[in-house]
Structure 1
């Protein structure tokens, strides 16, 4: 059977390259396009377009609304349309909208554009996790989900440097402000990515026509995962009734809502706000920009570590829930108790960045748990996880991490402790459900067809 192992190794190498290269680069520039508004705002857009009051915050809210609305429709679209067409189409759409932003003359124009930008960008994150769950086994998925998630964190780390370079080098060229060039360049970058995906993205194992996969490799890709993974239920009232009456939707959506709010402790730039508003210590502009980058750096390391570890131990994703429960509780308690010690506060904020690990592992956990469910239900649950988290995030940061609460964020510290404890409890509940579901699946499982039969199916396709 050594030849099967060798063929599987070649298959993994191919799909790793073409899926991860496309999805990671897309996600990196997805984050770049999201963050460019802030960079443009502080680089002259505020004055040139005469922003007033909280219009900037309203624009961000409008984007979030579009992003939330687009989650489920985008993932469902992936079960109807070939991903190699749908992903590039969405990339071209949000790239074009980004470029159009360079021509606006009022905050209201940006509001309209950002709403549709949110709709288009909704396809990337949840859609990629759906695709990853379609190709990879329980012992492979965590690491790939981690690499994908880390690419977004890398965009958070380096996006500011890239955008500052664009602004400073092109400001005044062809009579355009630097912030307008920022949107033009960010949009143009996405076009080659879309073309790459259109030509080489492999779709899903049962539908792939990728030229670099042989017939036997396509058959092997199908045989590696449960056949139910490829089934697609009819989209009707019965579908949604079954979806909302199973534990999968409620269990994983609530899990990610809670986990996402532990992550918001770091994603709301609390360390930078703490430094900016410190009552006695003054930090330079360089320090304000550089020191907080350690938080996503810790997040990248933690994400890759836990994603790889949970693969090695057979997909025990729940371990991350307990790790975050401890991390969130201890780091928030340290900041509350030792606020007068900058070294303790810095250490706690850096350590708290480790909670980013939940993003990759919990979406991998959902994919693992729903392997025997039809793919359309799995796509909706994954999209609903992200939708629920963003719906709560829309008001959570204002309530607990508003800038005027700096530097202590006392309310936010207690919220972090509460979420961390709730996450540990809910992780236990989801774990109990998955164990019970796995036992039920074993009792009703139909043996997979022999590999030779699957190969003949692959040849006939």
Structure 2
């Protein structure tokens, strides 16, 4: 395969219009650069609470039992509360203002975490931090769906999702470096310095967003886009007149009735509510807790080695997202992810398996993250004809996933179950099998909707053709002569 073909496979074929290629390059740079940096800082902080726990925070704050699970659950509760309001606010307040404002709030709260004296203070901070951070993930997927065509969306969603995973990867490396070089400096523990550095990283990114983020295509005033490019950004996505009408609807209670009367809300929400739990090994740092519990590993090793899970997640996400844009089908990625997680859980469930196989199983579980970008690209595609529905469905998907997250780790992955996490391994197998079934259900419902839409369109076309033929007969001056000849 030539270099040109590889480029087309990875980034998609260039558009026929040079103007559209230039526009796409600009929005790729400014939208993806800010959203990826924002999500990087988001996940850097989110992951660092687990890294801090195994790097001295537990001992210094006298944490015991399931308190680390409680911290994550309280964060999730704040995340749930802020989800849909944050996404709807993007239709009221300029995203260029809303995103950086939320980022500044969680950056300040990150600084506050570095001076906490007890676990109760962390509980309060994490709840409000969850509310602020809930603007990022689904908000960005809504923005991406507003700027990109379906065949452009998968790889951009994959790049965005990978930026959060890079934050997780960098978190372990950063914690190890901080522990080695800053632990005890100015009388502060290494884990406290970690949150200070997080906050310092976050603030300049927020300022960058204020300056360059382009808002939505129909409202953008970005200085780097000409008026012609702003018009093109909106018009290139308008394939049917109905889509423009749907995007101009004002917010009203009719939105609720419209959404709840369709299958999309239920199908997409159920899909990510369950499939998202296949990420539990990575999100709960099960590998780090396993290594700490069995002993024989240094703190730096406990920080470094789980980064392999994240590395697999990044590669899987980018490869699968790129492939879905090329093939224009999303469901095979969820099948791949589910099968990988089933294999991983079985290997870990058999406790007599060698250490090397357990390392392999933990790393293989990183493939679970490949479904995240694909699932949201799929939902963006399903709801492309209704902008408001799309905003709510994307938020609802992440909201219901976090509703499950709020109790999932406490029930199936409590810290007291380390190192075996037997319940968690069984739960992983069940969640993966359920994901396979729900994937088929969404695929079936989407195809049924397509068939129904085609039948309606064909009926309209036939009606239009019949009307045209009737009008031509009425207007044809020879038609009466033909009738007279037939009578005679």
TM-score range, shorter chain: 0.7 to 0.9
Q: 1:191 to 1:427 in 2, by over 3 A?
A: same
Partner SS for 2:151: coil
Q: Which residue does 2:355 correspond to in 1?
A: 342
Query: Would the aligned equivalents of 2:287 and 2:306 in 1 still touch at CA under 8 Å?
Result: yes
Residue 284 of structure 2, aligned match among 253, 260, 268: 268
Q: Computing the radius of gyration over CA atoms, which structure comes out larger, 1 or 2?
A: 2
The 5-angstrom pairing of residues 352-371 of structure 1 reads 352-371=365-384
Residue 158 of structure 1, aligned match among 156, 167, 170: 170
Q: Which residue does 1:291 correspond to in 2?
A: 305
Q: Does 1:308 find its partner at 2:322?
A: yes
The whole-number CA distance in structure 2 between the counterparts of 1:412 and 1:56 is 16
How much has 1:108 moved relative to structure 2? Answer: 3.2
Listed one character per residue, the Cα deviations across residues 68-122 of structure 1 (whole Å, up to 9, x for unaligned) are: 1111000010111111111111111111222233444444333322221111111
How much has 1:144 moved relative to structure 2? Answer: 0.6
| Stretches of structure 2 lacking an aligned partner (at least 5 in a row) | 1-13, 462-488
How much has 1:205 moved relative to structure 2? Answer: 1.0
Q: Which residue does 1:120 correspond to in 2?
A: 132
Of 48-57 and 188-197, more deviation after overlay is shown by 48-57
How much has 1:272 moved relative to structure 2? Answer: 3.2
Partner SS for 1:140: helix
Of 332-341 and 263-272, more deviation after overlay is shown by 332-341
Query: Would the aligned equivalents of 1:233 and 1:239 in 2 still touch at CA under 8 Å?
Result: no
Calculate the TM-score normalised by the size of structure 1.
0.87
Query: Would the aligned equivalents of 2:78 and 2:127 in 1 still touch at CA under 8 Å?
Result: yes
The 5-angstrom pairing of residues 287-436 of structure 1 reads 287-314=301-328, 316-336=329-349, 339-373=352-386, 375-436=387-448
Count of aligned positions: 442
Calculate the TM-score normalised by the size of structure 2.
0.83
How much has 1:313 moved relative to structure 2? Answer: 0.8
The whole-number CA distance in structure 2 between the counterparts of 1:76 and 1:268 is 29
How much has 1:51 moved relative to structure 2? Answer: 5.3
The whole-number CA distance in structure 1 between the counterparts of 2:339 and 2:15 is 45
Of 92-101 and 340-349, more deviation after overlay is shown by 340-349
Q: 1:4 to 1:357 in 2, by over 3 A?
A: same
The whole-number CA distance in structure 1 between the counterparts of 2:112 and 2:354 is 47
Q: Does 1:245 find its partner at 2:254?
A: no
Q: 1:220 to 1:335 in 2, by over 3 A?
A: same
Q: Does 1:438 find its partner at 2:441?
A: no
Q: Which residue does 2:153 correspond to in 1?
A: 141
Query: Would the aligned equivalents of 1:233 and 1:377 in 2 still touch at CA under 8 Å?
Result: no
Q: Which residue does 1:9 correspond to in 2?
A: 21
Listed one character per residue, the Cα deviations across residues 116-140 of structure 1 (whole Å, up to 9, x for unaligned) are: 1111111011111111111111111
Q: 1:62 to 1:337 in 2, by over 3 A?
A: closer
Partner SS for 2:219: coil
Q: What do you get for the CA RMSD once the two structures are aligned? A: 2.8
The whole-number CA distance in structure 2 between the counterparts of 1:332 and 1:36 is 25
| Stretches of structure 1 lacking an aligned partner (at least 5 in a row) | 448-461
